[in-house]
Structure 1
């Protein structure tokens, strides 16, 4: 099993030549890779006898794809070779399950941003006791074009303007320097960031910075990208510190608390820990409610906001945590019978 980048046709051909020399059959893993190989064969970029190519069948109880004379090319772009190997070693791939009888040759190095995933995959591979050989990246050629190749492309196409796309900014900057060394003016080579706009008005280039919004988009259920920052912040708070809900019934006519104060929590504190704070918190709660009820007119929103602020201060002082606090005040008018029973 060999891992390669699907764009590295020269290396793929060398592997195939060695495999054919030892009378091995060849399987190309990955639909995209198969399409690339088919096109490369049609245009004579690759020379592979059709009778040596194997289409693997799905693994089941009757078929294990165990063939000692089979060479599998696991190819793809960016993270795909390591991702496919990870599926194979975890036996979630439908075509190949890696065992201790297999030999693996890793001829790709992790690209920036995928190092952690690649390291985890390699660690899992070594646990299978398979024969694993990792080619050091110092011996691997880069898939990026050299400066001479970029110069050749510019000479062949002779563009009026040049705009490097994709890749890191420092690499795009290098392309601009190469173009300048060939006689291009700096204003004829455009380095754009995500969201920038380049348009031509009567042949004259015009750029606009930050013309379009860009970045990560949150898919929330069936809705796309309509979750605002406040909602995201609340969800982060819920995940970090949980939620604290306190509920009380108030008789607006008698201007008094009715019944017991109820508290429910999720992801905040164990009930046993809260019991140590309960009495002190309830005293604070009743004091703040009674202060407002002494007023001729009670502003319920103001009361809830003040209760939430006071509870947050109290909980942080005692626990050093800031849960999402929800205060629920329910208007409950007592009947005369209820009042007599309480008396």
Structure 2
């Protein structure tokens, strides 16, 4: 049997986040990252979205392990759900593993999992035919690693999130010599981060960003409130440094921040410039405004939500007021820009001042076009697969690859479930794809929210609900109580008496027609009420509310309800 490589993206292509890629080498499957993404606005009520791994369930005995590049949610966020199903080892740098453990321990189904293995840039893991090694990369979190899998057909390299920064601190530096060694050994396929492909101009170095933060702190005499993503360890270090340099103390606000900060400090990846830098919310009351820095963090959009609560007085500890400086250190995605603009407006109404790093400097943890081309030139891959970004971003990265000399037919812009196959004889090509959807997490529910439920939620949010309750005696074929009509989020009832009356008459007629029918059927009755009400309400209002008929049956002789209800079927 000849050797074969197959690369399958389970997420991270034509979308932001949810990085997860399967590399099949003959009968072995290597999982590269296991991330989640936070939902866009149309996924009403959904907490997070993780990859769908039905294909992996069918090939569970072939999975060698999970290999993590860094400790952000887009790389490790889905791990608790994965290890609760697949008992396979997980590999990553020390900090990445510690952050992964925090994630896993917080999940009831996964908290007993403990098959973690710490690796570094000097680690090589021999799996027989394949060897996995790692290389240092620069990102906004320490100990980020790229992954190189040596196969009989050549190396497959996965960069993870990366950029090049000549001013990076030791924990963040890229090992350029190691990149050269990997490229010299021959790379059959490069799977590379594309998130910064649309950036323009020269990006700011982290030293420039650190200086900017310190200048903002030094130039303000009042209280400072900073919004940052909890897992951006580099940004948090810059905030600590600026606070210490301006004789301020820092209050940590955010559900995840305390654990992440303490973990990074324990591993010496985050340093306190002065011992008493951190104070509790209660101790903050003893500080003057010019001594105070409030660090609000959380997941991707949570720092912005925290600022909104502070601006509107909903936060129980902090209220933004006149004289405050609010410093936004997160770079919003396109989906978040409107929300950030509204938040800034709320803050300005309080009399506070707002500054954002993105207004003055172009900051990103992802490589600019020149960085992406530099990585391509280090690796000289035979085939190139851009990942991590929406289609236009992947397409831009593909154009950058062509400029470095990679032929167009050796570049693959993939979508979830695509299978790229290479056997050494036939050029890499797209084979039959597998079905890979999204698995949506809502509370404790994993994958139990589908398109129908989301559709109903969207309708409810836009057009509301319309409920008709009718009591019947099926044996006597008559309606015992006239329909009771209720609506929520549809129309103002008191101002729509005629509409409600006509709807009641229509329901009465539809129910009685079904009662008079010799072949009475509950399903047909409820569907008939829904259809007739739906047509009437749309004609009158041009809206499509969720229509919920509730039909109750009683036996007048027994004077006891028989409990026939249609709530469940009405939403199906």
| TM-score, normalized by the shorter chain, greater than 0.5 | yes
Give the aligned partner of residue 121 of structure 1.
Answer: 343
Alignment equivalent of 2:469, drawn from 227, 245, 251: 245
2:539 and 2:512 map into 1 onto residues whose CA distance is 18
- Whichever of the two has the greater Rg, that structure is 1
Shift of 1:27: 5.9
Alignment equivalent of 1:187, drawn from 406, 409, 412: 409
Alignment equivalent of 1:284, drawn from 505, 509, 514: 509
Distance 1:94 1:322, change over 3 A: closer
Whether the 8 Å CA contact 1:161–1:188 is kept in 2: the answer is yes
Structure scoring higher RCO (CA < 8 A, sep ≥ 6) equals 2
Higher strand share: 2
Alignment equivalent of 2:394, drawn from 141, 161, 172: 172
Mapping of residues 29-108 of structure 1, within 5 Å: 51-52=273-274, 55-60=277-282, 63-66=285-288, 68=290, 79=301, 82-83=304-305, 85-86=307-308, 89=311, 98-106=320-328
Unpaired runs of 5+ in structure 1?
Answer: 336-343
Whether the 8 Å CA contact 1:65–1:95 is kept in 2: the answer is no
Higher helix share: 1
Larger deviation, residues 319-328 vs 123-132: 319-328
1:75-114 per-residue CA deviation (whole Å, 9 max, x = no partner) reads 8996566455445545777987644343345566543111
1:228 and 1:214 map into 2 onto residues whose CA distance is 11
2:312 and 2:335 map into 1 onto residues whose CA distance is 22
Alignment equivalent of 1:211, drawn from 417, 420, 434: 434
Distance 1:54 1:216, change over 3 A: farther
Whether the 8 Å CA contact 1:248–1:257 is kept in 2: the answer is yes
Alignment equivalent of 1:112, drawn from 334, 341, 350: 334
Residue 13 (1) aligns with residue 210 (2) = yes
Shift of 1:263: 3.4
Give the aligned partner of residue 153 of structure 1.
Answer: 375
Shift of 1:115: 1.2
1:41-82 per-residue CA deviation (whole Å, 9 max, x = no partner) reads 86xxx9x8x544753222127745436256677789965664
Residue 223 (1) aligns with residue 445 (2) = yes
Whether the 8 Å CA contact 1:196–1:207 is kept in 2: the answer is yes
CA RMSD of aligned residues (A): 4.9
Unpaired runs of 5+ in structure 2?
Answer: 1-138, 142-204, 219-240, 559-572
Whether the 8 Å CA contact 1:242–1:265 is kept in 2: the answer is yes
The number of equivalent residue pairs is 317
1:194 and 1:96 map into 2 onto residues whose CA distance is 43
